[in-house]
Chains A and B, each alone.
Chain A
Amino acid sequence: MTNTESFENVVLELRRGVIVLAVLSQLSDEQYGYSLQKLLSDQGLEVDQGTLYPLLRRLEAQGLLESVWKLEEARPRRYYVISAEGKKLLPKLKKEWAAIVSVMNKMLA
């Protein structure tokens, strides 16, 4: 494995860990897949569709999201929104995240 590959793999692992939190945090208002991807991208987090869509399905299967099909501009779109269970989990995840950031900031200072 080359150095570039190792670097890319580590970055991928780091990002994979934060995507769930990012997605849950952005779905207090309902979004469809593509609009969510743009919303994340506009804030600086690029997420590949191949990662985002299966993740949305998984989070829905876990009961953290809910989804509904809506017909808009003659196009059916699947809208996702955070569920009651997801809302309970989100503050705990935010706290965990803050702790991780604080520890890592100290460690890397």
Chain B
Amino acid sequence: MKLINRYVTEVGKRLPLVKGRKDIENELRSTLEDMLEDRAQKSDKPADEAMEVDLLKEYGSPQKVAETYNPTPYLIGPRMFPKFIIILKIVIAAVTLGMTIVMAIQVVTLSPMTGMELLKVIGEGLLNIVSTSIAAFGNIALVFALIERFAPASEFKLDEDEKWDPTSLMKEPEPEDIKAWEQILAIVFTFIVISIFNFNPQIIGLNYMTGNEWKVIPILSEAFFRWLPLMNIAWVAEILLNGMLLRAGKWQISSRLFSIAIKVFQIVIGYFLLTGPAIITVTAESLKAIEGFDAEAAQILGTMAQQGTQGIIALVMFRIAIDIIKSVVKMFRQKTSM
């Protein structure tokens, strides 16, 4: 019986830490002893070690036996797996696109540069894409594994199972219906924008070379960062709106109203940016201060930069105003069709 006891201990070591582990061990021991006794009776001789070895060999390795008791064999179960893949694809695509844009901005702002410098920027950019993608993969897998562990899909009915109605296939897609991936992408990008402006504003800078030294002038002025808290409110509100749309699956009166409120707020911010002190540091004076910069060119470039920025802000405000009008029209159409 020595081998049986050791075998049971080995199985026990591999069992999941669940209640009743000792019970499983005791039951296994008593079963193996019964089986051994049976064999001894059938062969008409007392049980010996060789018989024990044969029995345990047939019963299987301790690992295999322990696995049959394992209640949670999945890290991410089959019902959640398709959702995991969708989110993973979207986030990896967003990360790759975002990092590629950052890399492209670096290439443009650092130009002209030597071949080696270009290779370095591209190499670092690619490394960033790979390491950020791996980190994103890890985080998403962790979130899904936690959901699987503490709220497994097999134990609750997913909403879509109950709500799904085959007649939904018969109607034409409505303009109010939203595409989930657009909202998820919008959320991811808003997060990227928030993190750049709040935590890495140095990315947006003007790089130039004097002598053998690279210098960076931050493009955005202090006046810009004074309005950042208001912009943060608008971005967070956008994330909330996209979350609302994802949950509802379509535009509703409440989400339209919320969206219009956000847009009005954005126009107010735009007005402050337009009428307040310059939000970018590139002026005729700052350019003239750069060693070797032609005074006339500095004057023209500085004026262009200031007026260009104001022009862009005005255009964006105009665009938002049109969006507001469109939203109001759609909202009234939706109301009348209800």
Contacts and interface: CB of A to CB of B under 8 A. Distances in A.
Interface residues of B, number: 17
Size class of the contact patch on chain A: 10 to 19
Nearest to B28: A53
A88 interface: no
A78 B69 contact: no
Contacts, number: 38
Interface stretch (B19-27, B152-160, B267-275): B19-27
Contacts of A32: 30, 34
Contacts of A17: none
A76 B68 contact: no
Mostly helix, strand, loop or mixed at chain B's interface?
helix
B233 interface: no
Interface in B111-170: none
Contact of A57 (B30, B31, B69): B69
A50 interface: yes
Contacts of B30: 32, 34, 75-78
Contact of B26 (A34, A51, A57, A76): A76
B64 interface: yes
Given A51-B68, A53-B68, A78-B23, 14 more contacts: A32-B34, A34-B30, A50-B65, A53-B24, A53-B27, A53-B69, A54-B69, A57-B24, A69-B26, A75-B33, A76-B26, A77-B34, A78-B27, A78-B30
10 contacts: A32-B34, A50-B60, A53-B28, A53-B68, A57-B69, A76-B26, A76-B30, A77-B30, A78-B27, A78-B30
